[in-house]
Each structure stands twice: as C-alpha cells, then as structure tokens.
Chain A
Amino acid sequence: MGSPPATVFEFLFKYRPVVFDNGQFVLHAPWPVLLFIVIGLALVIPPLLSYVRLGGKLGTADKALLAVLRVSVLAVLVFCLLRPMLVVPTVVPQENYLGILLDDSRSMQVADAGQARSEFIREQFGPEGSELLTGLSERFKLRFFRFSESLQRISGSDELTFTGSQTRLGHALDEARSELSTLPLAGLIVFTDGADNSEDPLTESVLQLRSRGVPVHTVGIGREQFERDIEIARVEAPRVVLEGSAVAVDVMVTHTGFGGETVQLNVEDGGRIVSAQAVELQGEGEVTTVRAHFEVTETGPRLFRFRILPELEELVDENNERDVLIHVRDRREKILYFEGEPRFEVKFLRRAIAEDDNLHVVILQRTADNKFQRYDVEQADELAGGFPTTREELFQYRGIILGSVEASFFTHGQLEMIAEFVGQRGGGLLALGGRNALGQGGYAGTPISNILPVVLEPRPENDSSTFFSEVSVELTPTGRSHPVTQLSPTPEGSAERWAGLPALSTVNPVFEVKPGASTLLTGHGNGAEGVVVLAAQRFGRGRVVAFPVQDSWIWQMHADIPLDDMTHESFWRQLLRWLVSSVPDQVHAAVPKDRAGVGERLTITTEVVDSAYLKVNDAHATARVTTPSGLEQALDMEWTVERDGEYEASFVADENGLYEISVEVNRDGELLGNATSFVEVAEPVEEYFGAQMRSTLLRRVAEETGGRFYTPQTVGSLPEDVRYTESGSTVYEEKDLWDMPIVFFLLLGLVATEWGYRRARGLI
C-alpha cells in the first residue's frame, strides 16, 4: 500500500511516479502531425473570430478570458488526439535477479518503533511469507544476503542472528555487486537502519553501481530520531600520558529529549571512579562538550571508561559509555631550560618540579658573558659547549624553555634549529618573559617569532624606556578547560583560584595572539590591560607556549600564599608535562585505533627517524605482538615506500583482551629505538552509537544509483516499482497518457469555468 500522496498521484495520473521517472514521453499519433495542425487551426480560429466580432456588453478582458478558456479546451483535446504515452523499460518476469541485502548487525535489535527493527525483516521474509515477498518473487528471482562486517549469501531469514558487530554498507554493496555480476541483475534492495559505522568510503561503491546501471533501493528501518536517549558521541583523550599527570579529556554528549536536564558523567579506571561531575545537557540537537579532569596514577595501559549513568526511559543504554585506552608512561622527560641571566625563576622552577619523577629539567644558565653554569646534567660533557649547535644535541631533549636571553646570542642556524625542534622534531617550546626575552630580546622577525603563539612587536631603535607592569591574572574561557590551567577539580574553582593569586610582573607588552593560538591567561594591571600571560598553539608537530611574565615564583613566595599551597608547583608541573606530552620518539609505533573486534586485521605503523630526526628508509623494523594469552608473534615491518620513514605490518586480532605491540628498529646493527603500543580487543560496541535510522544516507545511495528510498510504510509499492528498470533483461512497455483522469478533470474544469463565467456575465 502506498502512502496517501502516492495514492492520490496514481489516481490522477493513472500510473505511479516511478513510471514517470523511468519512462520516456512520446506522441504516438495515428495520423500525420500536419493533419492535426490543420484540424487544430480549424477548431480554434472560428471561435476566436466569433469572440472578436462579438459586440454587446462584453469588454475586451471578458473576450480574452473566454477565448483563452475555449482555446485551452481545444488544446487539451488536440493533445489527447496526438496520443501521448510513456515508453517504460520493464523487466521480463522471472528472467531477472534481485539481490536482497538484509542488515544483520546488532543495531537491528533496537526496538524504536514499538518492536525491534529485526522483527520487520522477519515479518517480511519469514516462512509465513508476506505481500512484499510474494510481489517480488512473482516478478524476480531473488538472492538473499545478510550483511554486517561482511556479506554472506543466505537461503532464508532464519539464518539471520542480528548480532553483527559492525555495519559496512559500502563493503556489502561491493560484495553483492561482485557476486551477482554474471547474472541479469535488476537491482539491489537493502533493508537496513543505515547505521553504517565503518570507515569504508561509500562513494566509491555507489559510483561503481551507478556506472553499471544497477539501481539500489533502500528500505530504512527504524526511527530517524529516538524519543529519549543520551549518547556519548565521542571522547577525545591523549593516547599517551605521563604518570601522575592531570589529564583533560573532552567528552561529547548528544541526546534527544533530555534538553536542560542534568546527568552525571563518571570516569572509571578499572572500576574505580576517578572523576564524577554533573553535566547539564544543551538543547535539542546540540552537542554538549564536557571536559573531564582526572589524574593518572597507575602506569601501563589503562582502560578508562567514560559513563553517563543511564536515565529512565532511555531507548539504548549501551551508548551511554565509551572506553578509551590510555598508555600511562613512567619515564623522565628531559627538558632544556636556557636562561640568559641569573634570576629567581630558575631556582623556583627547579623546586617546583623537584618532586616530579617524570620531569627532568637540565639547566644551562648564562651567569656572565661567555660564562655558563649547568645544573642537573646527566653526563659530564652535556652542554659543556654551551647551547647546542647540532640537531643531534638539541633534539635529544623533548622540550626547551627559553628564558631571558636575547636573540642575538644565537646564530641564525641555532634559531632555525629551535624552530625545527618544534616543527619537525615535534618538541615543545616555552618562551618565558624577561628583559631580554620576546620582543624586548629582539626576537621579532626571527624564526622563533614565526612559531610563537603571540605577535611580537619589534623593539624601536634607541628606545631605552622599559615597560613594567604588575598584572593580576584571569583565566580565559579557553583556559577554564585547558589541562595546564587546572588548579581545582572544577572550572569554576580554577577560575576563582587564578583570580585570587597575587599579581606577577611583566616587562614584555604582549597583547596579541596569532590566529591559531589559544589564550589561557590574561593579565590586568597599570598599562597592561588585557596583556597576554599564557598562550599556546601547535606548530608543525610540536607545541609552543608563551608565558611573558618574569616572576612566576611570586606565586610561591608571596605573603598571601600559604606555606603549604601547591599552586606554583602544580602549575609548572602541568605546564611542562603538557608541553612534552605528545612529543614523538625516534621510533613511534601506532595502530589506527585503540579498540578493535575479534577477527579484525590491524595495521601497525611505525615512523622511524635518526638522532637528527631525519626520516630513515633503510632500517630493519620488527614488531613483536603479544596476545592477551601471552603468545608472541614476530612481524617484519616493511617500508611503505609511499612515505619516508614509515614502516607497516599487520596482524589479525583473534582473541579478546589487551594486545601489546613492541617495535624495535635497528640500522646497520645499531639500535635506533623502540616503541610500545597497545590495542584492546573486545566485543565492538559501535553498533549502539549513532544507531538512529539514517534516511539521508539511504536516500543518497538510492538516488545516486537510480533507485528509490522506502520506509516500512511505503515499501508495499516496491515490487511494482522495481519492475521499471533498464538493468537486467527488459522489454519496453507503452503507457497511454490521454486517458489519465487528470486530463478528464482538466477538461471538465475548463468547460465548467467557461460556463460559470458566461453565466456570471449574463451570456446564458
């Protein structure tokens, strides 16, 4: 049974829209057209003349209207005499095949339309049969398939389990096309919710079908929007962090029907709640982004669960939680702090991180011209020659702190090397304020100014005046959710704490940040309203932070700061940890995702650079995959050729649990480095996310291949519609149009209008 509009259409136009869509309009008059023209003129001219000659009380407008009505009536009649018709390609009954693809994934179990989606499929294709099945099998030979992760031929709906862990629509279409390529194929019909959660590009599959003229008819099962449901749409978390770090994770929550309501978000580490916060959900259709803060205290691969406690009446509970694997590393990140003058920042920074086993700040301090002191070096000769002059020497560090040292101290090569340290090596750079720092240090126009998140004003020549201002800091909206500036478990608490800290001082008037930068702290003071206190940005592979104040130690020493206050320590630890948290090693191993399903093939990608961080293509890379049950598999990794320094190998995950992937890279018998990555293999839960019926996607697939989109309400017309296709073995049917009811109603309407008008004007 068609939908009401379709039924009305069919009543008026005799055929259903599909016939008009597929048919070609022709005039099939039994006599020559010239004869029709003559007859037409003979019919039209006399009445026109009679209207022109007509006198009496009729005005020109009356005459024109009556003439138009009369001519229209005659035109419709002539059109009918011309015998208009549609020529429609129609399949030859029982000579064509129809592929019927049934979605067998888990999301078909969602009961969003009074019953589970799968029930509709069982009803239509069950052993009892249905109108739909009968209609299709009368006209076509049917081939049934089920699809989820892959496509399989089935003989009946009893083989469906609706437990597939993934919906790969594109893959299913490709496979079905390939399997039926040798048969006269009239089209494919896909019964699905369209909740495709694969990474396969669908466009390619659609183009292939389109070029072969195979129409895909899609039947969307389920509701496009759930009445009441909350879903954690995405979690953005760092994959590697240092032990003891404060981690900030963005959790994106979508919902329907819960606008303005408050729900609870918990973060669990191995079942232990490490963070809990109330979340007020935004209005309908809006994404609520929440930043969850917690500290990672245990090392190794940790599976963190982000969970919104299920609410009553929620349709799907499974989409309320997501797991994220975070590799918590226990290592010392080495940072070089180069300070151009003795000043208290050095002392207090060293104190702030003294208890942090994961940070190692090596200090090179210029105490007089060409006189340097080194602190906390690892080897006797480390930095013995002053600031590094080679990439190998500089790139061994993961971060650089530049203190109050003028740009002219460095050679141009060293300045470029610092910029490359960030852009190419992926290191972190922190530029502190000071009388010889930033613009005051002559950095404007140097390679360093290009990478800084702030705009440096060049120091005017012969300008001996000194800018100085004490500044009270204020947390910006961006800073409220940034991991560096968290001084309290809640953003409000952090903002309050920052506002209560004593003023620092600055001699660097920096007021503007670059377009891609984030301002985390601003300052207010005499002549320094809105001065930038802390700004950060990504540059190339690394991070750059500007902190243009000269005495952050005030946050430790000031009379208003209690003796046991840890603000200064927390801030510096968080800042330095964040600065180096995503710095790559010489060997970096990764799998594309941290969670996979059993049977899935996973590709390990390793990037290899030498000590100067130049990409290496002639290394020997080996991956050792340790399964959850302890079995080891060694894989030789191949250089991908497409990208310098990139090596690949793949394996199939065949058991649930945590896989450890250790990569070791050697060149000429020398160890270049090693790296470890983890992947959690578990029952995929993707089917429960974004499980609403996606009509837009299904419509697009249908329209681009010449098929049509149906719902369970409109699917009754499908057997008839599918007939009209050029695909497969077809004949052409002629469909007369002259006897369409609409033509009759048109004539009737025109004549009635003319009669009514005449009557109104007193002509009859």
Chain B
Amino acid sequence: MRYAAFVLFLVVLVAEPAEAQIYWEGGSDFTEFNVPYDGRFTFVRLSFTPLNDGWGGRRRRRSQYWWDHDWPYAETNLVKLLRELTDVRPFMEGSNILAADDPELLKYPVAYVSEPGHWTLAGEEAAGLRNYLLKGGFLIFDDFADSYYGGAYEWSIFERGMLQVLPDARPVRLDFSHPIFHSFFEIDSLELRHPYQPVYAEFWGIFEDNDPDKRLLVIANYNADIGDYWEWSDQGWYPIPLSNEAYKLGINYIVYAMTH
C-alpha cells in the first residue's frame, strides 16, 4: 500500500511538470493570444478570480487559475472542427481570455467558462456579465461536477455566482428536445459520461425572464467536462464516440448562439 502511494506520488510529480509544459510552452496551433477583433468568430474564455485565491478548495491542494483548464487545446481543437464541419469561419490562429468586466468581451457574443465551481465575481464583474447576457451574450459553463464528496458543492458555487449576475435566475434542466441540441447536429441523447468522474452530464439552462419560451442566456454542462474531451481528443485518451459527442455539443452551442 505504501508502495502504491509512492508510485502514485511519482506519477503526480512527473505529470504536473508535463502538464505545465503543455500550458506554458505552447504546442497548440495558436500563434496569437488575445487577438484583436476582426469580425470572425473567435473563441473566448472567461477569466475570473478563483475561490480562495486558487488554493485548492476542497479537492486540490495546489494553486491554480481554474478558469484555464483545458486551455489552449480545447479551443484549438474545437475551432478546427468548427471550420471543418460547418460554414463558420472562425479565427484559427488564436483565442481570447477576457475578464467579465472587460469591455472587449462585448465584441464576442459567445464565451466559455471553465470550472465555475471555483469562480468568484467582484461586483463589477457580475455587473459586466449581467450586461453581457442581457444585451445578447451567451455563456457556456463547463467542467464542474460534484461526485467526489457528494452534495452539490461546485453547483452551489456556480449558482451563487449566477445569482450575483442575475438575481432572479432559476436554472432549468434541459432535455434533448431543446433546439440547442438540434441547431447543427441532431443530438438525440444527452447521456454523456464525465471523462474522469463517475457521473453523467446534466444540461442546465437559464432563460431570459426565466421563461423557457424566451432566449436561452446560459447553458451549463454540470457533471460534465466537454472541454476535456476537446482537449484530449487527438491524443487517444478517450473513446472517440465520447469525444464526438463533446464536439457535437460544442458546435451546436456555437451555431445556436449565432442564431438565437
């Protein structure tokens, strides 16, 4: 047992620098970061101040940003698929990381938020996001789950942030009949296993005025991490059908956001 723990320690020790290398030494196809607006669809990831300054929460014991999970391969791979499969002509050479209160965010009506189970929002950030959503922006929340410890810890953190943004927001669980699951690919099942946690995805939406007949402002992939599927899809870590499902969701979200 002690041996097993030692091996695990070594794996973690080796894996962390390897992960850091991917993060900071490049390796994705992106050559530009925070690119200027040029009218094309550009992937935008929202940055935020993590809970406890990034110190771990209950799960992890290391400092990290949280919002950067799966960056940049998730977006690199998604925009490639977007270009290959659809008539969207996305910006291929870079993506943007913008804060919720950055005026630049308003030039990109779709934004992706990773790990909202660890997000915090300052007052200006909440106001910025509220403005963004009500003007016509669309947010995709991903990579938050509650499986290890039971309860709904990450959900509650996500929900607390959303209530700062939209105090009356009442998330509604979506089923596959919602048009967002048919905007490009016909998705007829929402059974998607989390890549590395023993949970299945749930898709939640927040509607304008909490009216499901009105505009969908937010989609939240709870107990899911489709960004992780995107990130590792070309590495053979995950079964292709699961990566495919993740791509289908991502592409549908973006096409939907461009029309609804």
Instruction: Identify the A interface with B (CB < 8 A).
Output: 340-344, 346-348, 350-351, 363, 365-369, 371, 373, 375, 435, 468, 505, 507, 550-551, 553-554, 556-559, 561, 563
The residue in chain A whose Cβ has the minimal distance to the Cβ of B131 is A563
Chain B residues lying within 8 Å of A344, measured Cβ to Cβ, are: 109, 258
**Given A347-B257, A348-B136, also A559-B103 (CB < 8 A):** yes
B232 within 8 A of A: no
B184 in the interface (beta carbon within 8 A): yes
Contacting pair B86 A505 (CB below 8 A): no
In whole angstroms, how far apart are the Cα atoms of A340 and B38 in the complex? 19
Pick the 4 closest A-B CB pairs, nearest first.
A559-B103, A341-B87, A342-B258, A505-B39
B255 cross-chain contacts in A, Cβ below 8 A:
342, 367, 373
CB distance from B109 to the nearest CB of A (A): 5
Question: Are A556 and B87 closer than 8 Å at their CB atoms?
Answer: no
Chain B residues, CB < 8 A from A341: 87-89
A556 touches B136 (CB 8 A): yes
B residues less than 8 Å from A363 (CB atoms): 259
B259 touches A350 (CB 8 A): yes
B251 vs chain A, min Cβ distance (A): 9
Say yes or no: A346 contacts B39, CB within 8 Å.
no
Question: Which residues of chain A have C-beta atoms less than 8 A from B183's C-beta?
Answer: 367, 373
CA distance A561 to B137 in the complex (A): 14
A550 to chain B: closest residue by CB: B39
> Is B107 part of the contact surface with A, judged by Cβ < 8 Å?
yes
Pair B136/A347 contact, Cβ less than 8 Å: yes
Interface residue? B85 (CB, 8 A): yes
Q: A341-B88, A366-B87, A468-B38 are in contact. List 18 more A-B contacts (CB 8 A).
A: A341-B87, A342-B254, A343-B258, A344-B109, A346-B259, A350-B259, A367-B183, A368-B87, A368-B184, A373-B183, A435-B89, A550-B39, A553-B109, A557-B136, A558-B106, A561-B135, A563-B131, A563-B135
Known contacts A507-B39, A550-B39, A342 near B131 by CB under 8 Å: no
**A557-B107 in contact given A367-B86, A368-B85, A505-B39 (Cβ < 8 Å):** yes
Q: Which chain A residue has the least Cβ–Cβ distance from B130? A: A563
B39 contacts A563, C-beta separation under 8 Å: no
**Once the chains are docked, how many angstroms separate the CA of A350 from the CA of B259?**
8
Cβ-based interface call for B66 (8 A): no
CB distance from B165 to the nearest CB of A (A): 13
Contact of A367 among B103, B104, B136, B184 (CB under 8 A): B184
Distance between Cα atoms of A344 and B256 in the complex (Å): 10
12 contacts between A and B (CB under 8 A): A340-B87, A341-B89, A342-B86, A366-B87, A367-B86, A375-B259, A435-B89, A550-B39, A554-B107, A557-B107, A559-B103, A563-B135
Q: Which residue on chain B has the smallest CB distance to residue A346?
A: B259
**Which residues does chain A contribute within 8 Å of B259, judged by CB atoms?**
342, 346-347, 350, 363, 365, 373, 375
* Residues of chain B from 120 to 137 with CB closer than 8 A to chain A in the complex: 131, 134-137
In angstroms, how far is the closest chain B Cβ from the Cβ of A461?
21
How many Å from the CB of A338 to the closest CB on chain B?
A: 13
Cα-based distance from A367 to B257 in the complex (angstroms): 13
Q: B47-100: which have CB < 8 Å to A?
A: 85-89
Please tell me if the beta carbons of A559 and B106 are within 8 angstroms of each other in the complex: yes
Chain B residue with the shortest CB-CB distance to A507: B39
Q: How far is the CA of A557 from the CA of B133 in the complex (A)?
A: 10
Q: Which of the residues B39, B86, B106 comes within 8 Å of A468, measured between beta carbons?
A: B39
B237 part of interface (Cβ distance < 8 Å):
no
Tell me if B107 and A558 are in contact (CB < 8 A). yes
Given the known interface contacts A342-B259, A550-B39, the answer about A351 and B136 at a Cβ–Cβ threshold of 8 Å is: yes
* A residues less than 8 Å from B141 (CB atoms): none
User: Would you give the shortest CB distance from A660 to chain B, in whole angstroms?
Assistant: 39
Nearest Cβ in chain A — how far from B241, in angstroms? 21
Q: Are A551 and B39 in contact (CB under 8 A)?
A: yes
Query: A468 → chain B, closest Cβ, in Å?
Result: 6
In angstroms, Cα B184 to Cα A371, docked, is 9
Interface centre among A342, A344, A350, A561 (most CB of B within 10 A): A342
Q: Give A547 Cβ to nearest chain B Cβ, in Å.
A: 14
- For B89, the chain A residues whose CB sits under 8 A away are 341, 435
B260 contacts chain A at the CB level, 8 A cutoff? yes
A598 to chain B, nearest CB (A): 54
Please name all residues of chain A whose beta carbon is closer than 8 Å to the beta carbon of B134 when the two chains form the complex: 563
In the complex, chain B residues 191-209 whose Cβ is within 8 Å of any chain A Cβ = none
Closest Cβ–Cβ distance, residue A362 to chain B (whole Å): 13
Report B23 CB to chain A, min CB distance, Å.
30
Q: Does B33 contact A (CB under 8 A)?
A: no
Contacts of A369 in B (CB 8 A): 87
Which single residue of chain A is at the shortest CB-CB distance from B109? A344
Nearest A residue (CB) for B132: A557
CA separation between A657 and B170, bound complex, in Å?
57
Q: Is B247 positioned at the interface, with any CB of A under 8 Å from its CB? A: no
Flag whether B176 is at the interface (Cβ < 8 A): no
- B38 nearest CB neighbor, chain A only: A468
For B107, the chain A residues whose CB sits under 8 A away are 554, 557-558
**Closest CB in chain B relative to A503 CB, distance in Å:** 10
B41 on the A face (CB < 8 A): yes
* Alpha-carbon gap, A369 to B254, bound state (A): 17
Q: Chain A nearest CB: distance from B211 CB in Å?
A: 13
A346 contact set on B, CB distance < 8 A: 258-259
Complex Cα distance A441/B136, Å? Answer: 28
Q: How many angstroms between the C-alpha atoms of A556 and B132 in the bound complex? A: 10
* Residue pair A505, B135 in contact (C-beta under 8 Å): no
Q: Which of B41, B103, B255, B258 has the most CB of A within 10 A?
A: B258
Check A557–B260 contact: CB distance below 8 A: no
A554 CB contacts on chain B under 8 angstroms = 107
List residues of chain A with CB within 8 A of the CB of B184. Answer: 367-368, 371, 373
Shortest CB–CB separation between residue B158 and chain A, in angstroms? 24
Bound: A344/B210 CA distance, A? 23
> Roughly how many angstroms separate A468 CA and B255 CA in the complex, as a whole number?
24
Within 8 A of A (CB), among B30-46: 37-39, 41
Contact A556:B135 (CB < 8 A) given known A347-B258, A347-B260 = yes
Q: Is the CB of A557 within 8 A of B86?
A: no
Q: How far is the CB of B186 from chain A (nearest CB, A)?
A: 11
Q: Using Cβ atoms and an 8 Å threshold, which residues of chain A touch B109?
A: 344, 347, 553, 557
Nearest-Cβ distance from residue B79 to partner chain A, whole angstroms = 13
Q: Closest Cβ of chain B: how far from A506's Cβ, in Å?
A: 8
Interface centre among A343, A346, A468 (most CB of B within 10 A): A343
List the B side residues contacting A553 at CB < 8 Å: 109, 136
Give the chain B neighbours of A557 by CB distance below 8 A: 106-107, 109, 135-137
In the bound complex, what is the Cα–Cα distance between A177 and B258 (angstroms)? Answer: 75
Of residues 132 through 158 on chain B, the ones whose CB sits less than 8 Å from some CB of chain A are 134-137
What residues on B are CB-neighbors of A507 within 8 Å?
39
The CA-CA distance from A617 to B85 in the complex, in Å, is 51
- Give the CA-CA distance A369 to B183 in the complex, in Å: 15
Residues of B within 8 A of A367 (CB): 86-87, 183-184, 255
Interface residues as binary, B233-250 with A (CB distance below 8 Å gives 1, 0 otherwise): 000000000000000000
A721 to B114, CA, bound (A): 104
